[in-house]
Amino acid sequence: MPVRSATHLVLIPSYNPGARVLDTVALARAHWDPVWVVTDGSTDGSPEMLRAMAQHDPGLRVIVLESNRGKGGAVLEGLALAAAEGFTHALTMDSDGQHPAEQIPAFMAASQARPEVMILGRPVFGPEAPSLRVNGRKVSNAWANLETLWMGVGDSLYGFRVYPIAPLRRIMASTRFMRRFDFDPEAVVRLCWAGVRPVNLEAPVRYLSAEEGGVSHFRYLRDNTLLTWMHTRLFLGFLLRLPVLLARRFL
């Protein structure tokens, strides 16, 4: 039986994942209740498939955005609705089957034990993981750790994590950024700036082949340009906050 919670929910932003999303949601629902999916302007028929699935599952809620807002925009919509219903924490996971649904209870338990922190997945890669993706994320991780004075961000890009909803919503309301692929790393850095400490838990990540139904919307040039611009902004913000961060870190 899935664990049921009135404070912690699973939130899955979803953009054109194909039928693979049904397996992802079914696995998440096997471990947790409730699970919400935000379809982000999807045109692949997945909103209709998910709505049909939800008709037979009261623990599943499907939120359909008619236009694409980006991952961060979809998460923000889900957070606003979750906060209105009294939820305090959200575990985010991708819709394409890369993230380990079986780890949901452990991540949620860690969050419930320490609700003031964010629980970050530290990815454990399999042999099928593209070396370009594995090695490329080291650059973003190095910048994120510098920008937070090494508060302990194990991985800045892995989207399998539990956020405290209230501080994340406040941060997102204060900026027009964090709406697309830059959401995950910027959320971690800005939450650290706000005093929300990271706790890292290892979690496997699986890269699915096209034959297995794997879907990737990552575009190397576009998304790395976005990350470069993001870290430029964050580094400037880091310099402005440096006295406060030093005092908090070492005093």
- Sequence-distant (6+) residues with CB within 8 A of 51 are 62, 64
- Say if CB 185 and CB 140 are below 8 A apart: yes
Name the H helices within the chain.
Answer: 20-31, 46-54, 71-84, 104-113, 131-147, 165-173, 183-193, 220-250
What pLDDT is stored for residue 248 in this prediction? Answer: 83
Identify the burial level of 110 via C-beta atoms within 10 angstroms of its C-beta, where 0-12 means exposed, 13-18 middle and 19 or more buried. Answer: middle
pLDDT tens for each residue of 165-178: 999 999 999 999 99
With CA atoms as reference, report the closest residue to 67 among 47, 83, 89, 91: 47
What pLDDT is stored for residue 214 in this prediction? Answer: 54
The tokens for 214 are 């794997």
What pLDDT is stored for residue 221 in this prediction? Answer: 66
Amino acid at 164: P
Amino acid at 219: R
Domains of the chain: 3-250 (3.90.550.10)
In angstroms, the CA 48 to CA 207 distance is: 26
- Sequence-distant (6+) residues with CB within 8 A of 190 are 171, 175, 178, 234
What pLDDT is stored for residue 212 in this prediction? Answer: 55
pLDDT tens series, the chain, 251 aa: 899 999 999 999 999 999 999 999 999 999 999 999 999 999 999 999 999 999 999 999 999 999 999 999 999 999 999 999 999 999 999 999 999 999 999 999 999 999 999 999 999 988 877 777 777 788 899 999 999 999 999 999 999 999 999 999 999 999 999 998 889 999 999 999 999 999 999 999 987 655 555 555 555 566 678 788 999 999 999 999 999 899 887 76
